[in-house]
């Protein structure tokens, strides 16, 4: 897998990331969602550098201008709930993309440490020969990404796979590296060191779904 970790460079992304992490600023749910969306826009821009471009021309009022435009048929698939603002950010740039949504949640067993990923809702167009962008802001254990990808398999074989995330734990990055082909890409804003005993990224930012949309009752 080709890993593109945007935190290796100092950019304006650092501001959005620090606001997402800050336990006071993150209480402003609208700013939290918008910061995820802004990071989605930046990740979309970076990802666009790896697409395939065709030369064409546009008719300006004065002459013809040569332009290279991406030819990829993109499907953006987001994992509910926290994927929604990231999805919006990606769709702000890939405005012709098709869209898929899937629900994946952690079903806890006897202890908070042990859970399995349950996939329920799934709405998806054909993925055959398309460019699949699979988006989830949190890549903790990596199990949601992998379970989602398994659930998408009946919808066709994508030509390219791009995983997009905001914060990952190194363990989750390693896990998906073992479950996706070498030609898949991971576009991620930053990678933290560890996971705690509940599977939360440390230092991370807390529960992204709750910070976007409010607390949920546990299953």
Ligand X SMILES: O=P(O)(O)OC[C@H]1O[C@H](OP(=O)(O)OP(=O)(O)O)[C@H](O)[C@@H]1O
Point out which residues bind ligand X (CB under 6 A).
79-82, 104-106, 117, 136, 138-144, 172, 199, 207-210
Q: Among ligand URA, ligand X, none, what does residue 142 contact (CB within 5–8 Å per kind)?
A: ligand X
**What are the CA-CA distances from residue 91 to residues 64, 87, 95, 131 (Å)?**
28, 6, 5, 14
Residue whose entry in the numeric block shows the structure tokens 């073992």:
178
List the one residue from 16, 97, 209, 212 that touches ligand URA (CB under 6 A).
209
User: Minimum Å distance from CB 48 to ligand URA?
Assistant: 27
User: Minimum Å distance from CB 168 to ligand X?
Assistant: 8
Comparison of 70 and 206: residue with beta carbon closer to ligand URA: 206
Query: Binding residues for ligand URA, how many (CB under 6 A)?
Result: 10
List the one residue from 84, 140, 164, 176 that touches ligand URA (CB under 6 A).
140
Q: Given the rule CB under 6 A, which residues bind ligand URA? A: 82, 138, 140, 199-201, 204, 207-209
């Amino acid at each position: 897998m080709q890993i593109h970790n945007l935190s290796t460079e100092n950019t304006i992304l650092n501001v959005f990331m620090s606001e997402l992490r800050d336990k006071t600023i993150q209480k402003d749910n609208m700013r939290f969602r918008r910061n995820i969306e802004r990071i989605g826009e930046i990740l979309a821009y970076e990802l666009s550098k790896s697409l395939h471009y065709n030369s064409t021309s546009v008719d300006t009022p004065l002459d013809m201008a040569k332009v290279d435009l991406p030819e990829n048929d993109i499907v953006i698939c987001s994992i509910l709930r926290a994927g929604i603002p990231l999805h919006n950010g990606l769709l702000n740039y890939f405005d012709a993309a098709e869209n898929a949504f899937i629900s994946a949640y952690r079903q806890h067993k006897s202890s908070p440490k042990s859970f399995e990923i349950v996939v329920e809702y799934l709405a998806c167009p054909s993925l055959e020969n398309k460019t699949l962008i699979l988006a989830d802001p949190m890549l903790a254990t990596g199990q949601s990404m992998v379970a989602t990808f398994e659930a998408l398999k009946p919808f066709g074989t994508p030509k390219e796979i791009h995983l997009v995330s905001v914060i990952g734990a190194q363990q989750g990055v390693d896990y998906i590296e073992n479950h996706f082909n070498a030609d898949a890409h991971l576009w991620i804003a930053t990678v933290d060191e560890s996971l705690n005993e509940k599977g939360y990224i440390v230092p991370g930012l807390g529960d992204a779904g709750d910070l976007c949309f409010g607390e949920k009752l546990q299953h």
